[in-house]
Amino acid sequence: MQSDAVRPSETIGFAGLGRMGSEIAGHLVRAGFDVLGFDPSPEAARRFSAAGGRIADSPEELAGSEVIMSSLPGTAEMLEVYGPLIPELAAGTLCIDLSTVSVDASQTISRHATERSVEFVDAPVSGTSTHAAAGTLVVMVGGSAVAFERSRPYLAPFSATVEHCGAPGMGLEMKLITNRLLTAHLAAIAEAIVELEDAGLDIGNALSLLRAGAVPRLLEYKAGPMSDRDYTPLFTVDLMNKDLRLAEERRPPGRVTAVGAELMRSAAAAGFGDADVAAIMEVCTDTR
């Protein structure tokens, strides 16, 4: 349901109709908005037109829209769109950039927008095109509280979670940290699968056991105590190091797990052997 403050007849100018953008813009069309889209790819433009959207011939044609949204490949494309567009926008226009781009560049565009009395939020999304199609993206918003509240009805049609992360650029900060963590998880999972194969374990059964254990819920179990620096022992650093030594007796660790093992040994050396494994936090922060 649309907010009373939002008229579905409002025009949304949408720049970027690629794999993510086309799904997002499609949700907005189905939510009742008049969406004027632009993409340099003729094929992307044709697909969006077939889905019920209108097509602009250039980003500048979006300037008459009450709301500007974008889902662009990178920083250069974001600057190419908003650099010439911001000066053409009417005061009070709301810009919502869903792209993952440079924090500094986004903050620069936000300042230029403010000078024109235009509201700009960085609102990068977490999820793939599958989540975009399902309308279950997570949106991390940076910008003023007022701009955030204005943006919510335009983000709701394609998202499961929308959170205000703080000032301009903070949505992007959150997204970049999220993807760094995601990459580390992917690498560790890859190494674990190789080890499972080397050990001769049944992969299907092994993965089911991993899913049933603590690994998928590490954020739930450990992120809170780590952020609170609460190392009340549930499973100690010394016990983990014992298990890691046993693992190394069987086979050498991979590149990612070797770093984790070294950090766990460092935690013991720093005097945290009897503390919970969450105390790895202490040596991780020392590496900055």
Q: Alpha-carbon dihedral of residues 110, 115, 116, 122, nearest 10 degrees?
A: 10
User: Which candidate, 81, 75, 74, 32, places its Cα nearest to that of 56?
Assistant: 81
CA 1 – CA 156 distance, rounded (Å): 9
CA 228 – CA 10 distance, rounded (Å): 45
**Mean pLDDT in residue range 182-189:** 93
pLDDT for 8 beyond 60: no
At 285, is the pLDDT very low, low, confident or very high (cuts 50, 70, 90)?
confident
Q: How much is the pLDDT for 6?
A: 54
Q: How much is the pLDDT for 7?
A: 52
| pLDDT, tens digit, 9 for 90 and up, residues 152-170 | 999 999 999 999 999 999 9
Question: CATH 1.10.1060.10: does it fit domain 11-174?
Answer: no
Structure tokens at 220: 């739930």
Q: How much is the pLDDT for 33?
A: 95
Length of the chain: 288
**Mean pLDDT in residue range 14-18:** 97
Q: How much is the pLDDT for 237?
A: 96
Mean pLDDT of the chain: 93
pLDDT for 22 beyond 70: yes
Strands (E), 52-143: 54-55, 67-70, 94-97, 119-122, 125-126, 137-142
Query: Is residue 165 classed as helix, strand or coil in its secondary structure?
Result: strand
Window from 1-10, 50-59, 72-81, 235-244 with minimum mean pLDDT: 1-10
pLDDT for 194 beyond 70: yes
Q: The domain 217-288 belongs to what CATH superfamily?
A: N-(1-d-carboxylethyl)-l-norvaline Dehydrogenase; domain 2 (1.10.1040.10)
**Mean pLDDT in residue range 90-113:** 97
Nearest 5°: the CA angle 236, 239, 240 is: 85
At 145, is the pLDDT very low, low, confident or very high (cuts 50, 70, 90)?
very high
Q: How far, in whole angstroms, is CA 7 from its chain's centroid?
A: 28
**Mean pLDDT in residue range 12-20:** 96
H or E element at residue 176? helix 170-199
pLDDT for 4 beyond 60: no
What are the residue boundaries of the structural domains of the chain, listed by start?
A: 11-174, 217-288
